[in-house]
């Protein structure tokens, strides 16, 4: 529609009255960034607006950028459009973008996560602010896991599975290699596992993001270097690394460097049996930082919107379901959600993250 607050352009999602972009994938003058995953936050923009708490991660990934930080709920006005950022529950600093102009309110969600089993007042993810629904007329929603098959188990249950796997391997002197995206998923795992089982070692890309989390006040367990561990400690270690990394280059190829580890991957994609059976994988743990099918439905309903625009993921299925509910629904095809490719590219550039749709 001609008077839409957000439209799709080749550069990304554009706000015509405000003359700025949301998570653009090509270089622009002014960009509002929902979070620091590589498919949403790219280098080369003239000016960045994001949550203040995400500044450390953004600069760790993008370098020296011209960044204006906002607290959650704080607003600024640009060309008559009032902009505010609200918690999305996805990763540290992740935000939904609320736009108000001419009596209309739009919200672009970015990626978001709701934990269905959280008790009242309990944070859905201890490493970031919990998702907060924002009332609006039009809601731009992700749909990464927008199929009925994706229904997450209680988080405590998943972490109990991970701890049991790690403990069983530690008892026989076999280290555990847990693949997890370096930004968001790795920190959530570190905050959730039982660190008393054994020492934790992380890949350098994970440690770089850990530093930004700690500087933002997020508590994470102590991590150690492999070379500082005794042989007995190595047999009880949990090793956390991004799936794009090559263990041999990190840990050393010598036979004495490390006993053959048990290998697992933590991701929402592990909900699909075929993904859990991929070569070289002993276990797959279903743990996502995105809303599942019921979570998407709850989030959309909580906005009170009458119009929904679906981006990245299972767009057609979600649009059809929304229309069956009587909502005006359409889609914006975007590169968002191509996280594994972005993760691999980021890893190759830094040598040190689909970045975590999981």
Out of 235-239, 252-256, 295-299, 340-344, which region has the weakest mean confidence (pLDDT)?
340-344
- What is the C-alpha separation between 141 and 307, in angstroms, rounded? 11
Compute the mean pLDDT over every residue in the chain, rounded to the nearest whole number: 89
Higher pLDDT, 243 or 341: 243
pLDDT at position 349: 35
Q: Which of 317, 315, 320, 318 is nearest to 332 (CA)?
A: 315
Do residues 191 and 112 both lie within one domain? no
Do residues 164 and 271 both lie within one domain? yes
* Mean pLDDT of all residues in 306-322: 94
Dump pLDDT digits (tens) for 11-28.
Answer: 999 999 999 999 999 999
Do residues 214 and 124 both lie within one domain? no
The reply to whether 28 falls in a domain is yes
- CATH number, domain with residue 338: 3.60.15.10
The reply to whether 356 falls in a domain is no
> Strands 307-313 and 138-143, how do they pair?
parallel
- Name the DSSP letter for residue 338: -
- What is the C-alpha separation between 114 and 207, in angstroms, rounded? 26
Do residues 294 and 268 both lie within one domain? no
Do residues 160 and 204 both lie within one domain? yes
Mention every residue, 6+ apart, whose C-beta is less than 8 A from residue 304: 135, 136
Q: Is residue 116 predicted with pLDDT exceeding 70?
A: no
- What is the C-alpha separation between 113 and 152, in angstroms, rounded? 11
Do residues 261 and 184 both lie within one domain? yes
The reply to whether 92 falls in a domain is yes
Out of 204-213, 256-265, 312-321, 341-350, which region has the weakest mean confidence (pLDDT)?
341-350
Q: Is residue 346 predicted with pLDDT exceeding 50?
A: no
The reply to whether 2 falls in a domain is no
* Mean pLDDT of all residues in 326-346: 69
Paired tokens of 306? 């009458």
Confidence band (pLDDT; 50, 70, 90) for 102?
very high
The reply to whether 332 falls in a domain is yes
- CATH number, domain with residue 244: 3.40.50.10710
Q: Which of 235, 260, 285 is the last residue of a domain?
A: 285
Residue 39 CA, distance from chain mean position: 10
Q: Which of 317, 318, 313 is nearest to 300 (CA)?
A: 318
**In which element (H, E) is residue 138 found?**
strand 138-143
The reply to whether 33 falls in a domain is yes
What are phi and psi for residue 344, nearest 5 degrees?
-60, -40
Do residues 45 and 172 both lie within one domain? no
Proportion of the chain above pLDDT 90, given as a percent: 79
Number of separate domains in the chain: 2
Q: Which of 285, 309, 339 is the last residue of a domain?
A: 285
Dump pLDDT digits (tens) for 220-237.
Answer: 999 999 889 999 999 999
- Report yes or no: 35 and 56 within 8 Å, Cβ to Cβ: no
The reply to whether 357 falls in a domain is no
CA distance from start to end of the chain = 33
Q: Which of 226, 249, 234, 214 is nearest to 352 (CA)?
A: 249
Dump pLDDT digits (tens) for 238-289.
Answer: 999 998 877 665 665 444 456 789 999 999 999 987 777 676 789 999 999 9
- What is the C-alpha separation between 273 and 278, in angstroms, rounded? 9
Confidence band (pLDDT; 50, 70, 90) for 352?
very low
| Residue written as token pair 């993008």 | 62
Out of 171-175, 208-212, 318-322, 353-357, which region has the weakest mean confidence (pLDDT)?
353-357
Alpha helices in the chain (DSSP H): 55-62, 155-171, 185-192, 204-215, 231-234, 247-251, 273-276, 293-303, 315-324, 339-350
Do residues 144 and 219 both lie within one domain? no
Alpha carbon separation from 329 to 90, 93, 133, 310, 322 (Å, rounded): 24, 28, 19, 8, 6
pLDDT at position 353: 34
Alpha helices in 63-203 (DSSP H): 155-171, 185-192
Do residues 15 and 112 both lie within one domain? yes
> Strands 200-202 and 238-241, how do they pair?
parallel
Do residues 311 and 228 both lie within one domain? no
Count CA within 13 A, CB hemisphere, residue 33: 40
Q: Which of 261, 285, 309 is the last residue of a domain?
A: 285
Containing structural domain, residue 177: 155-285
- Name the DSSP letter for residue 220: -
Do residues 37 and 129 both lie within one domain? yes
Do residues 205 and 298 both lie within one domain? no
pLDDT at position 354: 38
The reply to whether 270 falls in a domain is yes
Give me the sign of the Cα torsion angle 335, 71, 135, 7.
negative
């Amino acid at each position: 529609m001609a008077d839409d607050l957000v439209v799709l352009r080749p550069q990304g999602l554009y706000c015509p009255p405000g003359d700025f972009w949301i998570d653009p994938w090509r270089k622009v003058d002014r960009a509002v960034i929902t979070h620091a995953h590589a498919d949403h936050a790219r280098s080369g923009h003239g000016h960045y607006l994001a949550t203040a708490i995400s500044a450390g991660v953004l600069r760790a990934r993008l370098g020296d950028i011209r960044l204006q930080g906002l607290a959650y709920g704080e607003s600024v006005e640009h060309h008559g459009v009032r902009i505010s950022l609200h918690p999305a529950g996805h990763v540290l600093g992740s935000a939904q973008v609320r736009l108000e102009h001419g009596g209309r309110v739009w919200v672009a969600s970015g990626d978001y996560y709701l934990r269905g089993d959280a008790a009242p007042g309990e944070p859905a993810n201890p490493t970031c602010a919990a998702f907060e629904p924002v009332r609006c007329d039009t809601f731009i929603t992700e749909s990464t896991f927008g199929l009925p098959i994706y229904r997450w188990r209680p988080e405590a249950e998943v972490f109990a599975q991970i701890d049991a796997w790690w403990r069983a391997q530690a008892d026989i002197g076999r280290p555990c290699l847990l693949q997890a995206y370096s930004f968001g998923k790795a920190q959530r795992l570190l905050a959730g596992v039982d660190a008393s089982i054994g020492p934790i070692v992380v890949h350098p890309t994970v440690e770089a993001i850990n530093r930004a989390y700690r500087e933002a006040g997020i508590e994470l367990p102590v991590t150690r270097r492999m070379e500082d561990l005794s042989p007995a400690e190595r047999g009880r270690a949990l090793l956390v690394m991004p799936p794009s990394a090559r263990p041999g280059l990190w840990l050393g190829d010598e036979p004495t460097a490390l006993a053959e580890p048990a290998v697992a991957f933590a991701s929402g994609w592990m909900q699909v049996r075929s993904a859990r059976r991929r070569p070289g994988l002993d276990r797959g743990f279903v743990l996502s930082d995105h809303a599942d099918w019921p979570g998407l439905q709850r989030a959309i309903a909580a906005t009170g919107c009458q119009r929904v625009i679906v981006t990245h993921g299972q767009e057609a299925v979600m649009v059809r379901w929304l229309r069956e509910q009587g909502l005006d629904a359409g889609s914006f095809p975007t590169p968002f959600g191509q996280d594994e490719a972005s993760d691999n590219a980021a890893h190759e550039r830094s040598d040190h993250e689909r970045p975590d749709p999981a």
